[in-house]
Structure 1
């Protein structure tokens, strides 16, 4: 049963009810060395829903400086699928919203510059906000102009004074990370040109519920958006939801487009997604209660399977030391005794341990030296890319363990 959290909604101040408690968790992207285990930071990972604006959000906020720091390990460019996605996004913005002489594009959470490099190469004025200094430096090497401050109302005012209004503010897998969304939206409204747009794409609550993708819930994902909650939130800050687009990346996302209220006519896609959410009950409490039951079932099934394989003497490794895998390992209690190691392409993670669960992270070459009997697919949102690359595993008799939407072996 849902319980009141004692805290109001971060967006509207309305009453919130806790819908899912996943327990004590570490920072999802903090991969410790074996000598650093005593310094791990933990918090309670729980999900709540606002009864007034329907925004789904975390109960407990992790300080942003703990998550987005110099050594933040995620690199958008390491995935060929995401490189293609962001290159296409940059080209689309250049052909639609960044066409006037002197056009200006701002990106929040620019990471290693994978999207803005396309804009920069076209000679368009731009600025990326990336507070994680290590990845920001990678963007600079690609010719991208970067600020290592956090985007909010105060910094937006500084950009407006120095560079003028933005035709586009863009963000991917970033806006849902920002508990201080009120300041971000005030900043966006201030910085946007009269006919400018704020375009952001984030994991979609509708897909998370449909797939029982509980691993999309972790410290960096503070908000879980729907068209209803985004529309209500935007309206509070003088902005209007004028377009939506479903995206297949990262297990299912929606690209939301906001504009100054009354400046653009909302597309038919907005009304269609609002209607679909209403029909499916995506924004209601009952959908979250069903989700909580699905999550508990997945944990039971996955742990039972892995214990059975261990008793049979089978070897199990995992593929993809993703941020969301921290939710799976810590909620399900998976450690090295059930999953021997995790392979990952990110050099900054290799030779370290997974957050909380302390499973060793190894480079991709270790996967075939020798192949395990089974591989737990943490990076399930990149399944097609991984399967195309790891044909040798299947040829050697290896089998993949999936847990989204249900636990199965393929």
Structure 2
């Protein structure tokens, strides 16, 4: 089965040099966000595990309920759910954004990757079809032969055989035909916009819409992690206050190596040390999102400024071109039908002294005076005179040639008559 080569992909537009630094900055920021999210998720799990390990310290039931109620009230439960949800989604968001900006930064590499994925998909489909066909021949081929039944795929009538020829492609599309047509059909052109599964980076959105939606996401994550850090810092003092209120003596019928106050202090230190690591990760994540927010605001302002500069440059160019055209139209060349170069113009010197003969009553008087000369082209008559002179010259040439022919014929007739008389 022969496969035709895919047509060349559509023209890929490379980013402007002014946008390369912005794209690289976005990629670096989201890589830092992704690494920080991984660290923060591990610290959040450690923080939650430290809170759930209170039962190993053998604290009174009433104290455990009061302490956990102080850590997990209604507001804190909402905070924990929001932190786990948005931080996990933020990691996926950063991963998709890295792919999006990398495709914009390297469009040629994206085109190669798309073609490689399509070829891999075609190869996998062909191998799967061959494996299915081999399994069918191995397990079901002999069964159909023993039972005396014909292969339902083989044509039985001449009409079906004729319709199965390459000139008559059957209308039904089985799995085999679909794979063959997929292999022979040229691949569609690569889209200009990078493909992504991110709902906020759809190609149908404008650049401003994408920046606004991503900025809203950054603000949401900023508020979530800020609230987490604030709640952690606000719970430190009330949690240690539980150790002062529940100061009970040692029970003689239990083996207790430490007092209740000491165990309460150990619980608080373990919980808040893990919470401190998670709060540190949240602060770092908030810092990266603040940088991403500032970069998006700067990208919007930069795009607007660049667009205005381009519009202003184009407007100035159009105004200069219009002024140049108007200036060219205002120039008077002396005649509408200017066709001769300036070197063919017969312009006499304006300072020449010429001798002018004037007839008077006493005789002819020769005087010299300055004559203001103007070129024939400036007067608008040079072209007409040259055309008239050309026609007269052509007429003279034609008349002279005719006269020469007549004279030649007359001379030849006279000579021929004299020659004939001598012969006689």
What TM-score, normalized to structure 1?
Answer: 0.19
Larger strand fraction of residues: 1
Q: Which has the higher contact order (CA 8 A, sep 6+)?
A: 2
Larger helix fraction of residues: 2
What TM-score, normalized to structure 2?
Answer: 0.18
